[in-house]
Structure 1
Amino acid sequence: MMNISIENKAKFFAQYWGQRVLSDLTNGGDRILCPIEASNMYRIEESHLKLKSLESITDEDVLKIAELLLWQRNILESSMIAQTKEILLSISKITTVKGWEWANIIDKVRELGYAYWWNGISVKDQIECGFIKLKS
């Protein structure tokens, strides 16, 4: 696993720039969700991202991701949802998805607020390192 430093945590957080997923402490000690932006990065050590689990992805979000897959355009919506979910959850399996398609898919997954592997760090390890907590 890579070195868990403030710099690496900031790089990880930057993938979700502009999204309201940064869990930060208020002066009263409560946690609130803030957008990730320069003005909120000053307390990165005590902060984490509150993200959704990919296992709980909605059909609506799956369809947004499926739009990126050119071969998905001519099949039934129910098949599209099932096949796209299978692809998303099969990071270790070989698929017909090309490298540039994976990059676009992963960007969209993060844009929609879901947790995903990063630089060899699994979602489980991101949780253990204090980078993220999953929404319940």
Structure 2
Amino acid sequence: MTIAGRIGLALLAGCGRAASSPPRAATPGTGAVTTVVPSETDARVSRVEELLRGVPGLEVTPLSNGSYQIRIRGQRSIRGNPGDDDPLIVIDGVPSSAGAAALADIAPSDVARIEVLKDAGTTSQYGSRGANGVIVITTKRARQEGPP
């Protein structure tokens, strides 16, 4: 798996990385975007959420019911309603209203690319729905078919 992050014009690479963490490459750009490109070694991963582990600023927490809770930049409010802190999930260009539950319908082997958008500049195109961050998933099928 390759994880690349862009934060403003600053370059970040390998700072304080544990030996078991995946390598990270950084490229200059605008906004806070982390890109995950699954590799063949990720074939043994059983859920898409597991591909997201190790992404800076992203919390992937397994729940007792077998699902996962995903938070970008942590929990915002202790008084919020359940789901208020969920990031927007966009699959092949279509925003999902199901939140993280939408990831259960995707096989990790079908994922071509995942982008995690973390700041206001990169999430602004999604309006208020992107206020908690956005996870954009492009599947291999969508990449082969091209834009609609």
TM (norm. structure 2) is 0.26
Determine which structure has more spread, i.e. the larger CA radius of gyration: 1
Structure with higher RCO (Cα < 8 A, 6+ apart)? 1
Q: Which has the higher strand share?
A: 2
TM (norm. structure 1) is 0.27
